[in-house]
Amino acid sequence: MTETQPLYLDPTRPTPERVQDLIARLTLDEKIGLMLHEAHGVPRLGIPAYNYWSEALHGITGNSRTTVFPQAIALGATFDPALVQRVASAIGDEGRAKYHVALRCHGETDQMQGLTFWSPNINIFRDPRWGRGQETYGEDPYLTGELGVAFVRGLQGDDPRYLKTAACAKHYAVHSGPEGLRHFFDAQVSLRDMHDTYLPAFKRLVMDAKVEAVMGAYNRINGHPACAHPYLLGDVLRGAWGFDGHVVSDCWAIRDIYQEHKFVATPAEAAALSVKQGCDLNCGGGTYCALDDAVKLGLITEAEIDESLARSLTTRFRLGMFDPAEQVSYTEIPPSVVNGPEHRALAYEAAVKSVVLLKNEDNLLPLDPGIKRLFLIGPLAANVDVLLGNYFGISDTLTTLLEGIVGRAPEGVRVSYNIGCLLTQPKVNPNSWAIYAAQSNDVIIAAMGISTLLESEEGDALLSTALGDRDTLELPQVQRDFLRGLASKGNKIVLVLFGGSPIALGDLADLVQAIVYVWYPGQEGGRAIADVLFGDVAPSGRLPLTFPKSLDQLPPFEDYAMTGRTYRYMTEEPEYPFGFGLSYTRFTYSGLQVPATVKAGETVPVSVTLTNAGDVAAEEVVQVYLSDLAASTVVPQHKLVAFRRVALEPGESQLVEFALPPDALAFINDAGEPQTEPGTFRLTVGGCSPGARGVALGAAEAVLGEFEVA
């Protein structure tokens, strides 16, 4: 270190020493300025301004050209952690490249140009009405944890010293709508449901993936604001889980503490309370500017502010922001990676693996190569928005379904297109030739569903009557009527459904021969869907959430108890069950092996033979569910404890082995603690969650086995 170089700029010194040296040089006002998401610069110390607010849910958001991967719920449908990690690693590479280009061009970065990505969203999609459920990996805590861990590892990289980017687990915790109430809502939840459903994924990301940041939610939980929650932030996050990263508020959530929740009376009280309880960074509203008054009023000490500031500054040091660029390997990632060939291929792979085949009557799919006339119709066939979902980036290589079909259809096949009907609005012109034009075709592909105009965050869904949420699970009436008109002419129909949440079809499902659910599939969506429809690749996506038959099967939206919710606690028959998805081949399960008796605390070995009994190469998602048959309290009917994607050639068999960890046998008791009891457990291994409905729809027969815990 030279005489003129302060310790905090010396990369040879331990990070904690460097952080403390920097804090010791700051005035109180400078410290406070660094605790806002638009962190102020400190020119006298050579500290540039930095905006923490960047998003990377399924690609870099709001920062010019990027690769647009499938929406998070679509990534959930892949049931493929390795794929999700590769996607996140690609996103991290693009984020790094774009960050350093902005620095070289402008000497600073703006919002959405930083390295602190407020992703992933690992809230549990407990109610299909929630407009932001599309941002999650679905309704299951285990699946969410597995995919969330993979995403964080991909974003943050594997350098032993530096983070590629800083991931953020959000929204902590017990947060999943209603959107219109989020700024003042108090979610009432038992300790059992909290630790059984709402917290496990956060625990995994903190303890296993070492996520760098956690974002507090808007709402209260059992009376306390999430961003100032003594139990969730203190006892659980920093206490039991040992989290040492920084906590950021959701945007304007600190303001909500006094303005909407009325938990305290003033900005100074809200700011002091949040910092003291463990929220280190204030996004939106600048409420932490009142920390100066809070110190003067004796509500908080400067030493407490120092402790909090150290955590967010540590993240900036771990990103290499105070070190020479040549020492940080990630600075060498070239801009050419942005939407380059490898990333476009990865977006295509993710889109293909997310497509869920829900119905295939008389094997209409894949489309007969001898087809002569194909008619593409529907309001979403040529729509770009349904490729993107929310929290999206933008690309110069977006492929709609129309473009995908036209690009894939063999020469000699006559492909026609008509929008047919609008998304939600009835037609004004009484005349329409669409249904009559469709009659003369061999197969109709009807591109329907919903978009982020109907489901999204509170201010984005311009056609939502519930401030971003859905007030019905059905298709919009105009689409239902139009589909009935198409079907009345006797056409063979492939229904391609876009959306980020369940769509209840009812008797409409009986009017079409094939149904594929394609989510918001990203920039390569049109090409991926077309290749699945034409049979270039077999569909292998699985539903990461239950599709109910109607709202009548759901508890009230505001009720956060898990009773009657998701496949784990729902007793009514769903329209489509969790984990369900058909293929172009037929898989069989046999030879389940599990010990007759295990001791508490032991790993449980499980094996099963999977066979591709059809004539098409395909991938199956092998799913392992556990049921505690003798628990002394309320437990899930069954819960996912393991899964794996397996690729098989026609006629090929493979022994698939799992090792269930001891904590898979535990349930959460009424005190919110894990507990393992002796008794009988049942394993169900197959391609769908347990229940007769999946088999009736075409899922493979599962194999069952029981064992005793001594």
Q: Is 556 within a domain?
A: no
Q: What are phi and psi of 675, to 5 degrees?
A: -150, 135
Residues 278 and 427 in one domain: no
pLDDT exceeds 80 at position 405: yes
CA–chain centroid gap for 647, Å, is 24
3-state secondary structure of 493: strand
If you average pLDDT over residues 497-505, what whole number do you get? 98
pLDDT exceeds 50 at position 138: yes
Residues 264 and 213 in one domain: yes
What global pTM score does this model have?
A: 0.97
Residues 478 and 594 in one domain: no
Share of the chain above pLDDT 70, in %: 100
Concerning whether 250 is annotated as a catalytic residue, the answer is yes
238 in Cβ contact with 189 (< 8 Å): no
Q: Is 567 within a domain?
A: no
Number of structural domains (the chain) is 3
Residue ranges with strand state E in 450-586: 493-498, 514-519
| Residue 128 belongs to domain spanning | 7-333
If you average pLDDT over residues 668-676, what whole number do you get? 95
Task: Give the pLDDT band (50/70/90) at residue 180.
Answer: very high
Task: Give the pLDDT band (50/70/90) at residue 124.
Answer: very high
- Six-digit token string for 468: 């971003």
154 in Cβ contact with 479 (< 8 Å): no
Q: Is 115 within a domain?
A: yes
Share of the chain above pLDDT 90, in %: 96
pLDDT exceeds 80 at position 585: yes
Residues 157 and 298 in one domain: yes
d(C-alpha 145, C-alpha 196), whole Å: 12
Q: What is the largest CA-CA distance in the chain?
A: 86
Q: pLDDT value at position 1?
A: 44
Residues 311 and 368 in one domain: no
Strand partners for 121: 170
Residues 261 and 374 in one domain: no
Query: What pLDDT digit, counting tens, does each position of 212-229 carry?
Result: 999 999 999 999 999 999
Q: pLDDT value at position 477?
A: 98
Q: pLDDT value at position 4?
A: 79
Q: Is 2 within a domain?
A: no
Q: pLDDT value at position 459?
A: 87
Q: What is the DSSP string of 566-586?
A: HHHH--SPPSB-TT--B-SS-
288 in Cβ contact with 275 (< 8 Å): yes
> 440: domain CATH number?
3.40.50.1700
Pick from 308, 333, 358: which residue ends a domain? 333
Residues 178 and 210 in one domain: yes
Q: Is 553 within a domain?
A: no
Strand partners for 655: 609
Concerning whether 442 is annotated as a catalytic residue, the answer is no
If you average pLDDT over residues 438-466, what whole number do you get? 95
> 672: domain CATH number?
2.60.40.10
Q: Is 554 within a domain?
A: no
Q: HSE on the CB side for 243, CA within 13 Å? A: 29
Query: What pLDDT digit, counting tens, does each position of 82-116 carry?
Result: 999 999 999 999 999 999 999 998 888 899 999 99
Q: Is 557 within a domain?
A: no
Residues 503 and 441 in one domain: yes
Strand partners for 220: 186, 225
Pick from 333, 354, 374: which residue ends a domain? 333
Pick from 315, 333, 351: which residue ends a domain? 333
Query: What pLDDT digit, counting tens, does each position of 238-260 carry?
Result: 999 999 999 999 999 999 999 99
pLDDT exceeds 70 at position 275: yes
Span of 16-20, 23-27, 487-491, 496-500 with lowest mean pLDDT? 487-491
**Which amino acid, 415?**
V
Per residue in 667-678, is it b (16+ CB within 10 Å) or e — as a string? bbbeebeeebbe
Residues 321 and 203 in one domain: yes
Q: Which of 139, 179, 250, 349 is catalytic?
A: 250
pLDDT exceeds 80 at position 591: yes
d(C-alpha 215, C-alpha 684), whole Å: 36
Residues 299 and 371 in one domain: no
Residues 113 and 215 in one domain: yes
> 293: domain CATH number?
3.20.20.300
Residues 75 and 223 in one domain: yes
Q: pLDDT value at position 3?
A: 55
Q: Which of 455, 469, 524, 531 is catalytic?
A: 455
Nearest Cα residue to 214 out of 203, 200, 225: 203
Q: Which residues contact 161 (CB under 8 A, 6 or more apart)?
A: none
Q: Is 201 within a domain?
A: yes
If you average pLDDT over residues 507-515, what whole number do you get? 98
Angle (nearest 5°) at CA 521 between 578 and 423:
95
Q: pLDDT value at position 108?
A: 83
